[in-house]
Amino acid sequence: MKDIMLARKYFIFLLFSVCALFLEWLAAAKTAGLIAQRQALFFSREKGDTFKKLSLSLKFDKDNGQTALYRAGIFMKNNDYVKAREESLGGLRTFVSVDAYNQIASIETNLDNMKEAKEWFERVTRLYPEEEGARLRLAAIAIMQKNFEESSRHLSALENARSENPNVFYYRGMTLLEEGRAQEALEIFHVLERLHSADSSKLFYKRDNLYHQMALAEAAMQRWAQAEAHLKKALALKKSDSYRKLFELINEMKSKSEEK
Q: What is the pLDDT of residues 107-130, one digit of tens each?
A: 999 999 999 999 999 999 998 887
| Inside any domain, residue 4 | no
Give 197's DSSP letter. -
* CATH code, domain carrying 97: 1.25.40.10
pLDDT 10s digits, 128-177? 887 889 999 999 999 999 999 999 999 998 887 777 789 999 999 999 99
Same domain? For 132 and 80 the reply is: yes
Measured CA angle at 102 (ends 99, 105), to 5 deg: 150
Q: Is residue 2 part of a domain?
A: no
Number of domains the chain is built from: 2
Q: Domain limits at 211?
A: 206-260
Both 217 and 180 in one domain: the answer is no
Does residue 70 sit in the same domain as residue 165? yes
| 43 has a pLDDT exceeding 50 | no
Confidence of residue 40 (pLDDT cuts 50, 70, 90): very low
Asked if the structure places residue 1 within a domain, the reply is no
Domain boundary residue among 144, 172, 198?
Answer: 198
Burial class (CB in 10 A: 0-12, 13-18, 19+), 39: middle
**pLDDT per residue as tens digits for the range 66-102:** 788 888 888 898 999 999 999 889 888 888 888 889 9
> Is 24 found in the same domain as 145?
yes
**103 in a domain, yes or no?**
yes
Quote the pTM value: 0.70
In a domain, 183, yes or no: yes
Cβ 154 vs Cβ 172: under 8 Å: no
**175: which residues sit within 8 A by CB, 6+ positions away?**
139, 143, 148, 151, 152, 155
How far is Cα 104 from Cα 117, in angstroms, rounded to an integer?
A: 8
Question: In terms of domains, do 37 and 119 share one?
Answer: yes
